[in-house]
Amino acid sequence: MVVLIEGFLAITETCEKYGERPIAVIKLRKGMNISKEEIIQYLNKAVEDGRIAKWWLPEEIIFTDEIQLTSTGKINKLELKRKFTTHYNTAS
C-alpha cells in the first residue's frame, strides 16, 4: 500500500445546525496526488464498513503544503484553525 499522506489534522468549524463540523487538513507526500473525491469515496466506504461513524466525515477537505508546528514540534492546531476556518477568518 502506498502512503500518500504525510500529515493530517482534523479541526472543527462552528456550524449553526450541528454546533461544530470537522474539517480535514491534509499534507500530501512530495510527488503524490489524490483528489478530494477519492478521499471522500474512501471515507464513505469506511462508513459503509462500520469502521467510522458518518458524522465523523469532514465537511470540507483542504490540501496544504505545510502543517505548522509549535516550538516543541507538535502540530499548531490554533494556527491552522485560524488559517483554514471561516469562523476565525471572519472574527479577526
Q: Spell out the SS3 assignment of the chain.
A: CCCCEEEEEEEEEEECCCEEEEEEEEEECCCCCCCHHHHHHHHHHHHHCCCCCHHHCCCEEEECCCCCECCCCCECHHHHHHHHCHHHHHHC
Q: How many domains does the chain have?
A: 1
CATH number, residue 50: 3.30.300.30
pLDDT of residue 70: 93
Q: Specify if 76 maps to a domain.
A: no
pLDDT of residue 41: 95
The residue segments making up the domain with residue 48 are: 5-66
pLDDT of residue 89: 56
pLDDT of residue 90: 53
Q: Specify if 16 maps to a domain.
A: yes
pLDDT of residue 1: 44
Render each residue's pLDDT in the chain as its tens digit; 92 residues.
467 888 888 988 888 888 889 999 999 999 999 999 999 999 999 999 999 999 999 989 999 999 889 999 999 988 888 888 875 555 44
The pTM for the full model equals: 0.79
pLDDT of residue 37: 95
